[in-house]
Structure 1
Amino acid sequence: MATWFNTGFWASVARIILRNRIFILLILAGITVFLGMQWKNMRFTYTEANLLPDEHPVNLEYNKFLEIFGEEGNLIVLAVKDSNLFQPEKFKLWNKLSKQLNAFPEVDLVISTENLQTLVKDTEKEEFKLEPFLKEEPTSTEQIDLLKSKLFNKLPFYEGLLFNKETQTIRIAVYLDKDIVNTSVRKDFIFNDFNPLIKDFEEESGLDARVSGMPYIRTLNSQNIVDEISIFIGAAMAITSLIFFFFFRSFRATLISMIVVTIGVMWAFGILGLLHYEITVLTALIPPLIIVIGIPNCIFLINKYQQEVKKHGNQAKSLQRVISKIGNATLMTNATTAAGFATFIVTESKLLKEFGIVASINILVIFILSLLIIPIVYSFMSLPKHKHLKHLNKRWIEGFVNWMEKTVRNYRISVYVVSLCLLIASIIGIYQIRISGSLIEDMPKKAAFFKDIRFFEEEFDGIMPLEIMVDTKRRNGVMKLSTLRRMQDVENVISETPELSDPISVVNLVKYSKQAYYNGNPDFYQLPNTQENSFLLAYAKKSSSSAGLLKSFVDSTGQTARITTFMKDIGTDKMERIEETLWNKINKVLPPDRYDVSMTGKAFLFTKGTKYLVRNLVISLALAVFLISLFMAYMFRSFKMIIISLIPNLLPLLVTAGMMGFIGIPIKPSTILVFSIAFGISVDDTIHFLAKYRQELTENKWKIRKSVYAALRETGVSMFYTSIVLFFGFSVFMISSFGGTVALGGLVSATLLFAMLANLILLPSLLLSLERNIANKAVLKEPNFNILEGEVEEEKKEKEKVSD
Structure 2
Amino acid sequence: MFKLFTTSFWDLIARLILRNKIGILAGILAATVFFAYQWENMRFTYTEANLLPDDHEVNIVYKDFLDIFGEEGNLIVLGVKDSTFFTVDHVNAWNHLSDSFKEYDEVEMVVSLKDLQKLVKNTEEERFILKPFIKDSIQSQEELETLQNDLFEKYPFYDNFLFNSETKTIRSAIYLKKDIVNTPVRKDFVFNKLMPKISAFENSTGLDVRVSGMPYVRTLNAQNIVDEIGIFIAAALAVTSLIFFFFFRSFRATLISMIVVCLGVMWTFGIIGLLNYEITVLTALIPPLIIVIGIPNCIFLINKYQHEVKLHGNKVKSLQRVITKIGNATLMTNVTTASGFATFILTESTLLKEFGIVASLSILAIFILCLLIIPIIYTFLPFPKDRHLEHLNKRWIGGFVDWMERMVKQRRITIYVTSLILLILSMIGMNQIKISGSLIEDMSKTSEFFSDIRFFEEEFNGIMPMEILVDTKRKKGVTKLATLKRMDELEDLIIETPELSRPISIVSLVKYSKQAYTNGNPDYYQLPTSQENLFISSYIKNSTSDVDLLKNFVDSTGQYARITTFMKDIGTDKMERIEENIQNKITKIFPSEKYNVTITGKALVFQKGTKYLVKNLAISLSLAIVLISLFMAYMFRSFRMIVISLIPNLLPLVITAGLMGYIGVPIKPSTILVFSIAFGISVDDTIHFLAKYRQELQANHWKIRKSVYGALRETGVSMFYTSIVLFFGFSVFTISSFGGTVALGALVSATLLFAMLSNLLLLPSLLLSLERNIANKEVLKEPAINIIPEEDDEITENDMQDLK
Q: CA deviation at 1:795?
A: 11
Matched residue of 2:281: which SS? Answer: coil
Aligned equivalent of 1:604 = 604
Moved over 6 A (4+): none
Contact 2:469/2:599 (8 A) holds in 1:
yes
Aligned equivalent of 2:55 = 55
Report the residue type matching 2:777 in the other structure.
K
Aligned equivalent of 2:802 = none
* Partner Cα distance (2:383, 2:795) in 1: 26
Aligned equivalent of 1:529 = 529
Q: Kindly tell me the number of residue pairs found equivalent between the two proteins.
A: 796
Report the residue type matching 1:776 in the other structure.
N
Q: CA deviation at 1:161?
A: 0.7
Deviations 1:47-94 (A, max 9, x none): 110000011010011111111000000001111111211111111111
Aligned equivalent of 1:345 = 345
Residue pairs, 1:622-641, within 5 angstroms: 622-641=622-641
* Partner Cα distance (2:795, 2:387) in 1: 30
Contact 1:429/1:657 (8 A) holds in 2:
yes
Report the residue type matching 2:134 in the other structure.
L
Contact 1:345/1:352 (8 A) holds in 2:
yes
Q: CA deviation at 1:203?
A: 0.9
Residue pairs, 1:758-769, within 5 angstroms: 758-769=758-769
Aligned equivalent of 1:668 = 668
Contact 1:695/1:792 (8 A) holds in 2:
no
1:106 corresponds to 2:103: no
Aligned equivalent of 2:121 = 121
Residue pairs, 1:208-227, within 5 angstroms: 208-227=208-227
Residue pairs, 1:193-204, within 5 angstroms: 193-204=193-204
Aligned equivalent of 1:543 = 543
Report the residue type matching 2:585 in the other structure.
K
* Partner Cα distance (1:245, 1:665) in 2: 34
Contact 1:730/1:748 (8 A) holds in 2:
yes
* Partner Cα distance (1:377, 1:405) in 2: 36
1:470 corresponds to 2:473: no
Q: CA deviation at 1:600?
A: 0.7
1:716 corresponds to 2:716: yes
* Partner Cα distance (2:642, 2:593) in 1: 56
Contact 2:7/2:786 (8 A) holds in 1:
no
Matched residue of 1:294: which SS? Answer: helix
1:591 corresponds to 2:597: no
Aligned equivalent of 1:791 = 790
* Partner Cα distance (2:100, 2:703) in 1: 84
Q: CA deviation at 1:791?
A: 3.1
Matched residue of 2:514: which SS? Answer: helix
* Partner Cα distance (2:136, 2:58) in 1: 48
Matched residue of 1:470: which SS? Answer: strand
Aligned equivalent of 1:489 = 489
Aligned equivalent of 1:157 = 157
Matched residue of 2:182: which SS? Answer: coil
Q: CA deviation at 1:425?
A: 0.5
Matched residue of 2:566: which SS? Answer: strand
Aligned equivalent of 1:800 = none
Instruction: Give the stretch that moved more between structures: 80-89 or 496-505.
Output: 80-89
* Partner Cα distance (1:767, 1:724) in 2: 25
Deviations 1:425-482 (A, max 9, x none): 0000000000000000011111111011011000000000000000000010000000
Q: CA deviation at 1:3?
A: 6.5
Structure 2: runs of 5+ lacking an equivalent: 797-804
Report the residue type matching 1:461 in the other structure.
N
1:142 corresponds to 2:146: no
Deviations 1:154-194 (A, max 9, x none): 11111111010110111101111111111111111111110
Residue pairs, 1:750-765, within 5 angstroms: 750-765=750-765
Deviations 1:327-367 (A, max 9, x none): 10000000000000000011110000000000000000000
Contact 1:2/1:785 (8 A) holds in 2:
no
1:658 corresponds to 2:664: no
Aligned equivalent of 1:578 = 578
* Partner Cα distance (1:414, 1:237) in 2: 39
Aligned equivalent of 2:677 = 677
Aligned equivalent of 2:800 = none
Report the residue type matching 1:160 in the other structure.
N
Report the residue type matching 1:23 in the other structure.
G
* Partner Cα distance (1:476, 1:382) in 2: 86
Matched residue of 2:76: which SS? Answer: strand
Aligned equivalent of 1:173 = 173
Instruction: Give the stretch that moved more between structures: 431-440 or 113-122.
Output: 113-122
Q: CA deviation at 1:525?
A: 0.7
Residue pairs, 1:250-329, within 5 angstroms: 250-329=250-329
Contact 2:644/2:763 (8 A) holds in 1:
yes
Q: CA deviation at 1:786?
A: 2.1
Give the direction of change, closer, same or farther, for the CA distance of 1:573–1:417 in structure 2 (3 Å limit): same
Contact 2:5/2:328 (8 A) holds in 1:
no
The Cα RMSD (Å) is 1.2
Q: CA deviation at 1:119?
A: 1.4
* Partner Cα distance (2:670, 2:231) in 1: 19
Instruction: Give the stretch that moved more between structures: 700-709 or 776-785.
Output: 776-785
Give the direction of change, closer, same or farther, for the CA distance of 1:2–1:253 in structure 2 (3 Å limit): farther
Matched residue of 1:439: which SS? Answer: coil
1:770 corresponds to 2:785: no
* Partner Cα distance (1:79, 1:791) in 2: 73
Structure 1: runs of 5+ lacking an equivalent: 798-804
* Partner Cα distance (2:109, 2:155) in 1: 20
Q: CA deviation at 1:99?
A: 1.1
* Partner Cα distance (1:793, 1:672) in 2: 45
Report the residue type matching 1:712 in the other structure.
L
Deviations 1:743-770 (A, max 9, x none): 0000000000000000000000000011
Q: Normalised by the size of structure 2, how large is the TM-score?
A: 0.98
Contact 2:53/2:349 (8 A) holds in 1:
yes
* Partner Cα distance (1:5, 1:488) in 2: 72
Instruction: Give the stretch that moved more between structures: 132-141 or 458-467.
Output: 132-141
Aligned equivalent of 1:644 = 644
* Partner Cα distance (1:85, 1:139) in 2: 15
* Partner Cα distance (1:629, 1:448) in 2: 47
Contact 1:2/1:786 (8 A) holds in 2:
no
Give the direction of change, closer, same or farther, for the CA distance of 1:795–1:580 in structure 2 (3 Å limit): farther
Report the residue type matching 1:68 in the other structure.
I
Q: Normalised by the size of structure 1, how large is the TM-score?
A: 0.98
* Partner Cα distance (1:448, 1:4) in 2: 57
Contact 1:49/1:351 (8 A) holds in 2:
yes
Report the residue type matching 2:622 in the other structure.
A
Report the residue type matching 1:791 in the other structure.
E
Q: CA deviation at 1:139?
A: 2.3
Matched-pair identity in %: 72
Q: CA deviation at 1:117?
A: 1.7
* Partner Cα distance (2:316, 2:792) in 1: 18
* Partner Cα distance (1:475, 1:717) in 2: 76
Contact 1:6/1:328 (8 A) holds in 2:
no
Aligned equivalent of 2:247 = 247
Deviations 1:288-324 (A, max 9, x none): 0000000000000001111111112111111111111
Aligned equivalent of 1:802 = none
Deviations 1:227-251 (A, max 9, x none): 0000000000000000000000111
Q: CA deviation at 1:135?
A: 2.1
* Partner Cα distance (1:479, 1:795) in 2: 92
Matched residue of 2:130: which SS? Answer: strand
Aligned equivalent of 2:801 = none
* Partner Cα distance (2:58, 2:671) in 1: 23
* Partner Cα distance (1:120, 1:313) in 2: 98
Aligned equivalent of 2:567 = 567
Q: CA deviation at 1:6?
A: 2.0
Deviations 1:254-305 (A, max 9, x none): 0000000000000000110000000000000000000000000000000111
Instruction: Give the stretch that moved more between structures: 359-368 or 634-643.
Output: 634-643
Matched residue of 1:5: which SS? Answer: coil
Deviations 1:358-412 (A, max 9, x none): 0000000000000000011111111111110010110000000000000000000
* Partner Cα distance (2:783, 2:748) in 1: 32
